[in-house]
Amino acid sequence: MEGGDHLAHERKKAQFDVEAMKIVWAGSRHAFEVSDRISKLVASDPAFRKDNRPMLSRKELFKNTLRKAAYAWKRIIELRLSEEEASKLRFYVDEPAFTDLHWGMFLPAIKGQGTEEQQQKWLPLAYKMQIIGCYAQTELGHGSNSSKWWPGGLGKISTHAVVYARLITDGQDHGVHGFIVQLRSLDDHSPLPGITVGDIGMKFGNGAYNTMDNGVLRFDHVRIPRDQMLMKVSQVSREGKYSQSNVPRQLVYGTMVFVRQTIVADASCALSRAVCIATRYSAVRRQFGSQNGGPETQVIDYKTQQSRLFPLLASAYAFRFVGEWLKWLYTDVTQRLQANDFSTLPEAHACTAGLKSLTTAATADGIEECRKLCGGHGYLCSSGLPELFAVYVPACTYEGDNTVLLLQVARFLVKTLSQLGSGKQPVGTTAYMGQVEHLMQCHCNVQKAEDWLKPAVILEAFEARSARMSVACAKNLSKFTNPEEGFAELSGDLVEAAIAHCQLIIVSKFIEKLQQDIPGKGVKQQLGVLCNIYALFLLHKHQGDFLSTGCITPKQAYLANEQLRALYSQARPNAIALVDAFNYTDHYLGSILGCYDGNVYPKLYEAAWKDPLNDSVVPDGYREYIWPMLKQQLRTARL
Ligand SMILES: CC(C)(COP(=O)(O)OP(=O)(O)OC[C@H]1O[C@@H](n2cnc3c(N)ncnc32)[C@H](O)[C@@H]1OP(=O)(O)O)[C@@H](O)C(=O)NCCC(=O)NCCSC(=O)/C=C/CC(=O)O
Ligand SMILES: Cc1cc2nc3c(=O)[nH]c(=O)nc-3n(C[C@H](O)[C@H](O)[C@H](O)COP(=O)(O)OP(=O)(O)OC[C@H]3O[C@@H](n4cnc5c(N)ncnc54)[C@H](O)[C@@H]3O)c2cc1C
């Protein structure tokens, strides 16, 4: 390796089998092999180069994305890639594009809400990319009748859209329904009569999400054929008669449940990527602390650096496992829906909404923290972190604003509690509410720091905190005569209760993961350390909740923090190997600071000279603006 492996000494410190951890991270040997093969395929193909993105104008950037998308599709066909491989290829190309919405929302919306007949008609066209679709729900203003605004892929490329609009028959408003609408001619791509469509303009960050054509759409007397209304949930007959299938109306929002579940898995990817960069760089970077003329301290050895970095490393793993579980939950609810069992839909909605909110918020904040952990160099585009942040941060808003989603979770929690009175036993992620009487009065029995390593102790503390916060909200709500008024007044507390519940889910799924058989020397032990870091970090951060609800004492909070410090020391020698287990190529990371060999400084130096500003020694504009100014100063000085 050119320049040698500057992190080799760190890799030797690992106390576990990194190859085995790679399989755990990927989810299975098969998933690992697909991911490994496809990531290398993308990394080795110059057509997928991405380091020039920050330098390109919007038009160049967008055209480049179209080129990459077409080339990716060509490779998918040539190599006869499976759906799984093709989706990995798009993932590793790592550039937001209209194809994300085509595959990620347009197709799932038709699958989830279209009748068999509609699926047979539209899906083959979409699978072969003979039509390109987007998902048009959000409006410019309020309501479902102004202009669509934001849909990705809509602005310049989509030929079709699933449009959400109010259905009115015989003067009666039946609420929002999905319709497949053709937007553009399949011959010359011009908008069809009555359709106004275009891009909404530049977004946050240079390059970044500007590869996407988020769009605006208006209709003027556009006729949508009756059979293009998605009719699985409700139907309109030829005579204009409206009817509903014997299924919950909420299925209209099913695409969001699907996509939110994928967003949780994506959060672990984005966070792990930032953490990989910050961890490798923290091991390379030395700053101060030299004794007797020896080398300066690696910044990763500073406890403050560890207390900021290692919880993020642990969160990346936690989100990975909760994402895996959420995928299982989604598959389970889908199978039940097919068998007309709708009982788990509200829980699936609450879990996907809440976990989407929690994981995206923590990831967006985590990426920014990683930038700061890399000091000044983190601010350079070549660190990969500014672009990653700019691309990632809208995840806190799209697919439902995070606060709005937490309010959905809060409604579910309040409903669950109110049903306890009627004897309905909560199941799944709310099963703990069934022991609410115990959880309202139990005492944490931690007496020494190591007691905090017991999974049962951690679980009970998180369950008690969540139950007590939800019960407090329910009690306060009961004081209002108008429940909606009460909900609005107490929404801040309700959001906090929802956060406590979702944190409990993540912690409990990490603990459940550790109860499985996990092969590989030291792998389970390292995951145990990360699980405890994740749980105790949350406990430390939210100790106000735990203390004010009386779940723990101040002494126990102190002991949790003491244990946390000890866990950081255990994680330290394994840190580099734990990020190597993500198996990211340098191409995917897109970061000089995070490169595998840790040969950061020569690469930074070399990259600087490639900046277009360094093409000439004297910059454009010097003669025009600076030289006359200097000359003027010179003249004044001589006078
Ligand atoms: C779905 C919204 C718009 C509904 O709002 P509203 O009409 O006010 O209804 P309620 O919030 O009162 O809910 C009624 C009822 O339905 C349940 N419910 C809500 N959502 C779902 C769901 N997804 N699945 C199942 N059930 C659901 C809710 O619990 C209530 O049940 P009750 O038993 O209590 O009656 C609103 O809730 C919402 O989700 N807003 C967010 C809008 C959103 O996510 N938009 C996404 C646009 S696409 C996008 O952003 C794409 C991004 C790009 C990319 O992903 O790359
Ligand atoms: C990059 C990007 C891509 C997108 N892609 C798509 C797409 O492909 N298709 C599509 O249809 N849409 C898309 N969207 C739109 C996205 O789904 C919406 O922006 C999102 O759902 C939030 O809705 P809003 O913009 O109307 O925010 P608002 O609802 O106006 O939120 C503004 C503020 O009000 C608060 N608020 C709103 N309602 C409540 C409430 N009931 N109680 C308390 N507080 C509240 C919110 O918390 C927030 O702080 C995209 C958005 C972005 C940024």
pLDDT in tens, 3-23: 688 999 999 999 999 999 999
Can you tell me the distance from the alpha carbon of 554 to that of 547, in angstroms, rounded to the nearest whole number? 7
Strands 133-136 and 160-169: parallel
Residue 154 maps to a domain: yes
Can you tell me the distance from the alpha carbon of 230 to that of 110, in angstroms, rounded to the nearest whole number? 7
Instruction: Identify which of 137, 404, 407, 408 to mutate to test ligand 2's pocket (most ligand atoms within 8 A of the CB).
Output: 404
Can you tell me the distance from the alpha carbon of 149 to that of 214, in angstroms, rounded to the nearest whole number? 8
Mean pLDDT of 127-152: 92
Q: Where does residue 299 rank: exposed (0-12), middle (13-18), buried (19+ CB within 10 A)?
A: buried
Confidence category of residue 581, pLDDT binned at 50, 70, 90? very high
Can you tell me the distance from the alpha carbon of 322 to that of 324, in angstroms, rounded to the nearest whole number? 5
Instruction: Identify which of 113, 399, 414 to mutate to test ligand 1's pocket (most ligand atoms within 8 A of the CB).
Output: 399
Q: Where does residue 113 rank: exposed (0-12), middle (13-18), buried (19+ CB within 10 A)?
A: buried
What ligand 1 atom has the least distance to the C-alpha of 401?
41
Among 11-25, 239-253, 283-297, 352-366, the range scoring the smallest mean pLDDT is 283-297
Tokens of 348: 């699936």
Q: Are 178 and 198 in contact (CB under 8 A)?
A: no
pLDDT, position 145: 67
Q: What is the length of the chain? A: 639
Confidence category of residue 590, pLDDT binned at 50, 70, 90? very high
Residue 132 maps to a domain: yes
Can you tell me the distance from the alpha carbon of 103 to that of 456, in angstroms, rounded to the nearest whole number? 42
Count Cα atoms within 13 angstroms, Cβ side, for 532: 26
Residue 182, helix vs strand vs coil: strand
CA nearest to 97, candidates 338, 89, 183: 89
Cβ of residue 138 lying under 6 Å from some atom of ligand 2: yes
Say if residue 636's pLDDT is above 90: no
Tokens of 340: 């007309």
As for how many domains the chain has, the answer is 2
Residue 356 Cα to ligand 2 middle (Å): 14
Residue 398 maps to a domain: no
Q: Where does residue 481 rank: exposed (0-12), middle (13-18), buried (19+ CB within 10 A)?
A: exposed
What ligand 1 atom has the least distance to the C-alpha of 352?
23
pLDDT, position 591: 98
**Chain Cα centroid distance, residue 57:** 27
CA nearest to 560, candidates 531, 529, 530, 539: 539
Residue 327 Cα to ligand 1 middle (Å): 19
Q: Where are the alpha helices (DSSP H) in 402-454?
A: 402-420, 436-441
Mean pLDDT of 117-141: 97
Burial 65-101 (b: 16+ CB within 10 A, else e): beebbeebeebbeeeebeeebbbbbbbbbbbbbbbbb
Mean pLDDT of 451-455: 98
Cβ of residue 101 lying under 6 Å from some atom of ligand 2: yes
Quick check: is 84 catalytic?
no
**Model pLDDT for residues 543-580, shown as the tens digit of each residue:** 999 999 999 999 999 999 999 999 999 999 999 999 99
Residue 548 Cα to ligand 2 middle (Å): 33
CA nearest to 468, candidates 534, 405, 544: 544
Cβ of residue 411 lying under 6 Å from some atom of ligand 1: yes
Mean pLDDT of 341-363: 97
Q: Which of 399, 460, 463, 496 is catalytic?
A: 399
**Model pLDDT for residues 161-184, shown as the tens digit of each residue:** 999 999 999 999 999 999 999 999
Residues 6+ apart with CB under 8 A from 268: 316, 317, 319, 320, 323, 359
Can you tell me the distance from the alpha carbon of 592 to that of 603, in angstroms, rounded to the nearest whole number? 7
For residue 212, the ligand closest to its alpha carbon is 2
Can you tell me the distance from the alpha carbon of 278 to that of 309, in angstroms, rounded to the nearest whole number? 8
Confidence category of residue 215, pLDDT binned at 50, 70, 90? very high
For residue 200, the ligand closest to its alpha carbon is 2
Write the Ramachandran bin of 49: left for phi over 0, alpha for psi from -120 to 50, otherwise beta: beta
Strand ranges for 183-223 from DSSP E? 195-199, 215-219
Tokens of 180: 């497949």
Residue 135 Cα to ligand 2 middle (Å): 14
Q: Are 386 and 371 in contact (CB under 8 A)?
A: yes
Domain-ending residue, one of 246, 274, 303: 246
Cα-based torsion angle of the residue sequence 227, 228, 234, 240 in order, rounded to the nearest 10 degrees: -50
Among 50-64, 497-511, 519-533, the range scoring the smallest mean pLDDT is 50-64
For residue 259, the ligand closest to its alpha carbon is 1
Cβ of residue 608 lying under 6 Å from some atom of ligand 2: no
Tokens of 530: 């990360």
What ligand 2 atom has the least distance to the C-alpha of 137?
11
For residue 135, the ligand closest to its alpha carbon is 2
What pTM, to 2 d.p., does this model score? 0.97
Q: What is the CATH number of the domain that holds 114?
A: 2.40.110.10
Can you tell me the distance from the alpha carbon of 599 to that of 380, in angstroms, rounded to the nearest whole number? 16
Tokens of 110: 């038709």
State the binding site: 138, 152
Residue 164 maps to a domain: yes
Instruction: Identify which of 256, 257, 355, 416 to mutate to test ligand 1's pocket (most ligand atoms within 8 A of the CB).
Output: 256
**Mean pLDDT, the chain, integer:** 95
Cβ of residue 163 lying under 6 Å from some atom of ligand 1: no
pLDDT, position 191: 98
> Residue 163: beta bridge partners?
136, 179
Count Cα atoms within 13 angstroms, Cβ side, for 404: 6
Domain-ending residue, one of 231, 246, 261: 246
State the binding site for FAD: 138, 152
**Chain Cα centroid distance, residue 131:** 28
Residue 220 maps to a domain: yes
- CA 125-126-127 angle, to 5 degrees, is 95
ipTM exceeding 0.90, yes/no = yes
Residue 590 maps to a domain: no
Instruction: Identify which of 166, 349, 401, 491 to mutate to test ligand 1's pocket (most ligand atoms within 8 A of the CB).
Output: 349
Cβ of residue 133 lying under 6 Å from some atom of ligand 2: no
Mean pLDDT of 38-53: 96
In this structure, the residue with its CA closest to atom 49 of ligand 1 is 399
Can you tell me the distance from the alpha carbon of 183 to that of 157, in angstroms, rounded to the nearest whole number? 10
Residues 6+ apart with CB under 8 A from 55: 611, 612
Strands 172-182 and 148-149: unpaired
Can you tell me the distance from the alpha carbon of 272 to that of 267, in angstroms, rounded to the nearest whole number? 8
Cβ of residue 150 lying under 6 Å from some atom of ligand 2: yes
Residue 107 maps to a domain: yes
Alpha-carbon Rg for the chain in angstroms: 27
Residue 254 Cα to ligand 1 middle (Å): 9
Mean pLDDT of 387-409: 98
Q: Are 88 and 35 in contact (CB under 8 A)?
A: yes
Strand ranges for 92-214 from DSSP E? 133-136, 148-149, 160-169, 172-182, 195-199
Residue 543 maps to a domain: no
Residue 241's domain comprises 98-246
Say if residue 74's pLDDT is above 90: yes
Residue 290, helix vs strand vs coil: coil
Domain-ending residue, one of 217, 246, 275: 246
Measured distance between the N- and C-terminal CA atoms of the chain, rounded to whole angstroms: 62
Residue 253 Cα to ligand 1 middle (Å): 6
Residue 172 Cα to ligand 2 middle (Å): 27
pLDDT, position 290: 67
